[in-house]
Amino acid sequence: MTAPEEDRMADAEQVVNVGIIGTGGMGRRHAHNLHRKVKGVEVAGVSDVDEVRMAQVATECSGACTFKDPYELISDERIDAVLIVSPDDTHADFVLACLEQRKPVLCEKPLATSSKEAQRIIDAETAIGRRLVAVGFMRRFDPCHVAVKEALELGALGRPVLFRGVHRNAGAQPGLPRHLIVGGSAIHDIDSARWLLQQEVVEVFGRGLRVDPALDEDFYDLLLIQLLLSGDCLGTIEVFVSARYGYEVMAEIVGSGGTATTTQPAPAMLRRLQQRSTSVHGDWLERFQEAYVLELEQWIQSLRGGRFQGASAWDGYISLLVARACVTSLESGRPETVQAPPPPQLYREEL
């Protein structure tokens, strides 16, 4: 990239050309959302190791350019900003390559697979001195979660004393990495607790169980984590990834003066045969579709000036530190302290 990205993005009318790395389920959804739902943006390039699905998504997005090499996409002059939706273990290297090019990047969670890798991103971004990295913790854009946060911020709940997160997936595949339930699933609830309460997690205590016998013996598909937060608040996170009936996420703040809980959005209530029922979402793509679009809209808007309101690289880094402490606690059977450093100036505004 020759011109600094502020110059490129200065014109509010200018179309932002986004390159997407990864065109699997989530990548394809982001590509469709950008192409069909977000104004002032073009899916200009896509990259994937699977050339068939890469070509298909490129066609679905009005003939975006295809890049076999993701690093070529990142450095291509026609690409203004990058969306990373590739496998988790590729995230850190791609984000660092975007920073080298001074290109804004929205990286799906997790920011990296270890806090050490995430630290390299923090170092690179602070050396640049500008926030270019956004992390896809999309619940921060979900209207139900935002309503809970607003109730708390308006003082309607009094002093917050407890965060409760419940997170259910329909099922998990055998052969998954042992701690994916922490780094892939619970990490969202860790971010929800920090973001809703604006407090840091200082101690965790986790227990796990394998429930589904089809899964590897050492894989926990049920997780219960207790949290202690910096503002004298407690927390519990329950993650169950073999829940069978569908996908559900709940976040609740209990306060000294009231409680706010996310609702489960459902299109209709059905009454028949002496029963009342609503449907449950099948997965996160259904449940959080609105949040994904709002997140992309705000990200694109932030590229034209202003600040991304979602998670920063610092949030991505801290969530990995807390996730690491959860894994250590699960392995040791003891509570684990989270050793989080204070944020550098660049990130010192809000969680």
List interacting residues with ligand ISE (CB under 6 A): 167, 169, 184-185, 188, 284
Reported residue count of the chain is 351
Task: For ligand ISE, give the closer residue by CB, 47 or 169.
Answer: 169
Nearest to 198 by CA among 228, 229, 227: 229
Nearer to ligand ISE, 92 or 135 (CB): 135
Contacts of 42 (CB under 8 A, 6+ apart): 15, 16, 17, 18, 35, 62, 64
Minimum CB separation of residue 186 from ligand ISE in Å reads 8
Q: Are 179 and 291 in contact (CB under 8 A)?
A: no
Q: Which is nearer to ligand ISE, 67 or 163 (CB)?
A: 163
CB-nearer residue toward ligand ISE: 131 or 139: 139
- Nearest distance from C-beta of residue 67 to ligand ISE, angstroms: 24
User: What phi-psi label fits residue 198: left (phi over 0), alpha (psi between -120 and 50 degrees) or beta?
Assistant: left
Closest to ligand ISE by CB, 27 or 184: 184
Give the nearer residue to ligand ISE in terms of CB position, either 75 or 114: 114
Other Cβ atoms within 10 Å of 272 Cβ, number: 7
Kindly state the tokens that stand for 158.
């009094």
Q: How far is the CB of 278 from ligand ISE (least distance, A)?
A: 20
Tell the smallest beta-carbon distance from residue 233 to ligand ISE (Å): 23
Residue 185 or 312 having the CB closest to ligand ISE: 185
Give me the least distance between CB of 52 and ligand ISE, in Å please: 23
User: Min. distance of Cβ 318 from ligand ISE in angstroms?
Assistant: 18
The two tokens of residue 333 are 């059977």
Contact 211, 240 (CB under 8 A): yes
The alpha carbon of 238 is separated from its chain's Cα centroid by a whole number of angstroms, namely: 18
SS (H, E, C) 90-129: HHHHHHHHHHHCCCCEEEECCCCCCHHHHHHHHHHHHHHC
CB of 148 to ligand ISE, least distance (A): 17
Residue 185 or 319 with smaller CB distance to ligand ISE: 185
Q: How far is the CB of 340 from ligand ISE (least distance, A)?
A: 23
Please say whether the beta carbons of 145 and 287 come within 8 A.
no
- Report d(CA 283, CA 272) in Å as an integer: 26
Of the pair 94, 292, the CB lying nearest ligand ISE is at 292
137-163: burial string, b at 16+ Cβ within 10 Å, e else: bbbbbbebbbebbebbeeeebeebbbb
CB-based closest residue to ligand ISE: 185
* N-to-C CA span, the chain: 30
Q: Closest distance between ligand ISE and the C-beta of residue 167, in Å?
A: 6
Nearer to ligand ISE, 60 or 248 (CB): 248
Burial class (CB in 10 A: 0-12, 13-18, 19+), 208: buried
Cα(158)–Cα(160) distance, rounded to whole angstroms?
Answer: 6
Cα distances (angstroms) measured from residue 99 to each of 41, 44, 96, 132, 311: 21, 19, 5, 7, 17
Nearest approach, Cβ of residue 118 and ligand ISE (Å): 17
